[in-house]
Structure 1
Amino acid sequence: MTIDFTDTADLVAPQLLGCLVTHNGVTVRLTEVEAYLGKDDPAAHTYKGPTARNAAMFGPPGRFYVYFSYGIHHNGNIVCAPEGTGQGCLLRGGEVVAGEDLARQRRQRPERALIPHENLARGPGNLGQALGLQLSDNGTPVQLTAREAEPEWVRGTRIGITKNADAPLRFWVPGDRTVSTPRGRR
């Protein structure tokens, strides 16, 4: 299966589920993503057009858009739709399937209890940290391995945002423990 990243983000998003993203020595099987639809989506960083911060989202599809969230996390998106459109898919959650020691080194703090395997890349900030994403990754090609088979998936409203929150643009593998909570919100 080959994903056509020039398709709109809402079409690309469910195709990402089950795919493997490899970056900086860690591979994550994607279990949760959210689509952001540019100028038609008030929740998108690109809603009001290009800026220095979001420029990568207007670049070639199939590349990273990385942003610093809440001053602590580097979140990653895959740019979608034709160049200049400003659409992308936020990588919300996944399972570390290779490079667990490195992911744990990036995530684990000595003063905290051992992070369970299913939490290493659960949530966009944790996933970005596990992959070692940095702002310098903006615009770089995403290394994606196609899934072996399409997993069962569901679609529902996005979480963690206030604008256009009711849009059914969050996609996830039901019952997977690496999916952000609330898992059943549709």
Structure 2
Amino acid sequence: MTFEPVQASFYERSTLELAKFLIGKLLVKETDKGTASGWIVETEAYIGPVDQAAHSFNNRRTKRTEVMFGPPGYVYTYVMHTHCLVNVVSGAENHPEAVLIRALEPYTGIELMYERREKAKKDRDLTSGPGKLTKALGIVKEDYGRPFFERPLFIAEGKVVAPEEIVVGPRVGIDNSGEAKHYPWRFFVKGNRFVSGAKHLNKMQC
């Protein structure tokens, strides 16, 4: 099965719009062990300069955030609590913004995902969280700075998700972010069992 990356121009849109447009797309990672992929079912937008929850709040420029100051469509990985998380750089150059890929619905390479996620007992456990999905697909911190529109780590066309099936709510795990913790910048597929957490069924629709 062959997948083709979306063009670089796909990422040239506002961060909130990109966070919605990523829903249903296919995240793919090719490795020596094989290829694994999953449909994106949950994202979170981080609009750095004005977003207290973002690493680049107030245009904070560090070795870690440097990639966000470049063009959109590149990989921003970082480690939090020993887990690697993967983001899509968004926004114009020198406007450090990103979209966190928070959950996937497994599609191909499921056996490989189980091999990598040894403690997973069922499919839902493989990719229902930002740290789980990176381990399942073999995404590592060293993927930092790669273009998402080229192999081996890329985003391909996927399923069409109707607007009424996309739900919006506040982001998760950012309690120390002032008013930013209330921003409705989390997007996910209504009722999808791979969405992280169990409270998503009661969120408002966008």
TM-score with structure 2 setting the length: 0.82
Matches within 5 A, 1:112-123: 114-123=120-129
Poorly superposed stretches of 4+, deviation over 2 Å: 1-4
Query: Which stretch of structure 1 is more off in the superposition, 118-127 or 148-157?
Result: 148-157
1:128 Cα deviation (Å)? Answer: 1.3
How far, CA to CA, are the matches of 1:147 and 1:10 in structure 2? 19
How far, CA to CA, are the matches of 2:111 and 2:67 in structure 1? 30
RMSD: 1.6
AA at the equivalent of 1:168: P
How far, CA to CA, are the matches of 2:72 and 2:116 in structure 1? 28
Matches within 5 A, 1:1-186: 4-24=10-30, 25-48=35-58, 49-70=60-81, 72-109=82-119, 114-142=120-148, 143-151=154-162, 152-162=165-175, 163=177, 164-181=180-197, 182-184=199-201, 186=203
* Structure 1, unpaired ranges of 5+: none
How far, CA to CA, are the matches of 1:8 and 1:150 in structure 2? 19
AA at the equivalent of 2:54: A
How far, CA to CA, are the matches of 1:139 and 1:12 in structure 2? 18
Query: Comparing both structures, which one devotes a greater share of its residues to helix?
Result: 2
When the two structures are aligned, how many residues end up with a matched partner? 181
1:184 Cα deviation (Å)? Answer: 3.0
AA at the equivalent of 2:182: D
1:86-129 deviations in Å (ceiling 9; x for gaps): 111100001110111111111114xxxx5210221101110111
AA at the equivalent of 2:79: F
Q: Secondary structure at the match of 1:103?
A: helix
1:185 Cα deviation (Å)? Answer: 5.3
AA at the equivalent of 1:74: C
Identity between Structure 1 and Structure 2 (%): 33
* Structure 2, unpaired ranges of 5+: 1-5, 149-153
Structure 1 partner of 2:3 = none
TM-score with structure 1 setting the length: 0.91
Say if 1:8 and 1:37, in contact at 8 Å, map to a contact too: no
How far, CA to CA, are the matches of 1:105 and 1:55 in structure 2? 33
